[in-house]
A and B are shown apart, each in its own frame.
Chain A
Amino acid sequence: MNGDSTPAYRIDRKLILMILVTIVLFTGGCWDRREMETLGIVAGFGLDWVEKEKKFVLTAQVIKPTQVQTPHGGGGGGGEGEEAVWVVKSKAETVFKGVRGFLFESSRRLYFPHNQIIVVGKDAAREGVGPLLDFFTRDAEPRLSEWFLVAEGEAAEVLQAKAGLEKIPALAISRLLNNYTGTSEIGRSNLLGFLTRLLSKTTAPYAPLIKVEGEGAELKYRISGTAVFRKDKYIGELNKRETRGLLWLLGEVQDGIVTMDYGGGKVDVELIKSACRIRPEMKDGSIRMQVEIRAEGNLGANLAPVDFSVTERTRDLNSKLATAIKGEVEASLEKARTLQADLFAFGEAVQRKYPKEWRELEKKWMEIFPQLEVEIDVRTNLRLLGLTTRPTIIKEE
């Protein structure tokens, strides 16, 4: 049967063992146990560089849970006046030391797994974000899904600004980036994406630029463009149009609006989806990139005196749309060329197709890239025209 007929003495031994284990566990204490009220949950993290002192200034936006959770019905609590976050700063030579330096001010250990955004001030970005990335990848707490942003001014300002709808501003920024598809003009980048680009030897990382406006307690922020990096250093930026061009080439454009002049009025096309294929062609040692963009859209607004329910006109609009898209892409390409930043992962495309030749090309890719011939082929399709057939406003001829 069981085979393990348990004699009485063995019970005693088991008992002793269990008692020993219990004693060890209880006297040893609970090493990693940390109650929730001992944690300062970081929602946003900022990094600035003070050139004079050669020191980093770290800013953390820490959540005050009780302030977020206003008890419904109950009139008590802090009321409306209290802020839901607490912004704390620390100054140190390295990021990791600075993170510990928060403890000079904070009664709670700062806790990073729920961090939503990392904002880097422009000065710090120029100096290089490597030290920051090292902390955020080496430490066990942060996650790679955090959004990475560059502040036009200081990161600390961004973290002090208020969000209109959310109680936690950092959470608001993260949601804002999640909804980038509404415009497709935000070049968002999380830690994973940023690192992947950084680790590839030629591709340039990018991150959205965030700008703070207003005064004092009425600070507000908005996304203003895209910051471009070479290695881990900030080298320039793209405006919104160029950002859209970048997203076209990355195949990430979804719901944006393209506005065009048509027949003396403005026409908005709402994009639905897009796809992009990049094919390098090598001939006689010179490389040509063939870019094929497909986009589909609906007519979003028609302020032109034109009836688009006629197929010919729609076809015409289609080609206009293609030209507009091509313009955006070219603007983006032009900027990338001047910045010498391979934002579009052309290098990797070449590497995938010509792995042998790539070993040679890789070394001088920065010289090749600006001269790269790019052939852009845009195909568009207008599917739906909305609810109305003819324009509501028809100008007299």
Chain B
Amino acid sequence: MSANPQHTPYHPRWYRAPMPIFWWVRRWIHARFILRELTSIFVAGYALVYLLQLRALGMGPEAYGRFLELLQSPLSISLHGISLVFVMYHSITWFNLAPRALSLRLGGRRVPDKVIAGLNFAAWAGMSAALLWVTLTG
């Protein structure tokens, strides 16, 4: 992501080589960057599906039952399977970058990046287990 998104239509002071639209497909590291950015579509997409499920929940048992049936369709299962890969890619890349966003100091020493990332992954596992437990016992 660029720091300053401000666009100015004219650049009289320097020459900018024209970039092809799909500049990022030629190198894997660039494609991986775009894939990481595209995970946001699946994050928001699932947030919307979840919101629709809550809406159906509020509309009564029949509406909720119909929604659960919809979730059982092969199309829904496939889309959720693909989405799971992308949202997990989001989590992994997010936690791996956490040490760069958060610099912790303990006793005058910088906490190693691996420790910070490790704590994030542990929190992920813990929260996932907690939600699974709530579902199983609720």
Question: Is the A/B pair a real complex?
Answer: no
The chain B residues found within 8 Å of chain A, CB to CB, are none
